[in-house]
Chains A and B, each alone.
Chain A
């Protein structure tokens, strides 16, 4: 079980983080490193693409929440791309749909960045 993390520059000063695999207590540090590295470089508008993520637990959610808190301190935002119904359900029941912008496509997520 592993996670693949790929970071791409997008329009403006934003970046897209593509994730594939499972985000859990073992793999989430890799995601945290990627997000922290971007923020440390001054990238405060992020799209995190979860389309190829099969599983996420509370440690993964914690990384996303931590990233969102940090970019908001700089006026930025984190939008998610999520089409997996099971993962959408986790965002629903935890109320995180109210905190993150969650979109069905990367284009929509990028357009909605502040």
Chain B
């Protein structure tokens, strides 16, 4: 996953289901700004929503969405404190139904990584490549 962000857009939402749609709208606008196609924007929107659903599932007060414009695409971090990443993120095999959200993220995005800090901060990083 490339490392040099040019522009960054951040959004903090309450860790509640009713706010996920706001993040979906925001990431759609960012992806549109970066000239992704309509189909790619829908992919990003769904992947972000799935990551947020996981992040809010463990409670907590808020979740951060950090969108980073990269020369070749869009990197999105979904950051929370205290909710571990889903196990299947690092798995190579097929996901079971319980991991449908993780399966969708992996299918719709070009890169998925997971960064957990000892202080409990967890980042789920997703990358969508711009068409060449």
Given that A24-B20, A26-B17, A93-B107 are known contacts, is A57 also in contact with B50, CB under 8 Å in the complex?
yes
Q: How far is the CB of A29 from chain B (nearest CB, A)?
A: 9
Cα-based distance from A93 to B103 in the complex (angstroms): 9
Centre residue among A1, A24, A25, A59 by max chain B CB count within 10 A = A25
The answer to whether A42 has its CB under 8 Å from any CB of chain B is: no
Cα-based distance from A94 to B53 in the complex (angstroms): 17
Q: Which of B30-57 contact A (CB under 8 A)?
A: 39, 42, 45-46, 49-50, 53, 56
Q: Which of B44-100 contact A (CB under 8 A)?
A: 45-46, 49-50, 53, 56, 97, 100
When the two chains form their complex, are residues A58 and B104 in contact, meaning their CB atoms are under 8 A apart? yes
Closest to A84 in B: B42
Residues of A within 8 A of B (CB): 1, 22, 24-26, 55, 57-59, 61-62, 65, 86, 90, 93-94
Interface size on B, residues (CB 8 A): 20
Given that A24-B49, A25-B17, A57-B50 are known contacts, is A94 also in contact with B42, CB under 8 Å in the complex?
no
Given that A57-B50, A86-B39 are known contacts, is A94 also in contact with B100, CB under 8 Å in the complex?
yes
Contacts of A26 in B (CB 8 A): 17-18, 20-21
When the two chains form their complex, are residues A22 and B97 in contact, meaning their CB atoms are under 8 A apart? no
Contacts of A93 in B (CB 8 A): 104, 107-108
Shortest 3 CB-CB contacts between residues of A and residues of B? A26-B17, A58-B101, A1-B21
Centre residue among B49, B56, B100, B104 by max chain A CB count within 10 A = B100
11 more contacts with CB within 8 A, not counting A24-B21, A57-B101, are: A25-B17, A25-B53, A55-B24, A57-B46, A58-B101, A58-B104, A90-B46, A90-B104, A93-B104, A93-B107, A94-B100
When the two chains form their complex, are residues A86 and B42 in contact, meaning their CB atoms are under 8 A apart? yes
Contacts of A24 in B (CB 8 A): 17, 20-21, 24, 49
Contacts of A1 in B (CB 8 A): 21
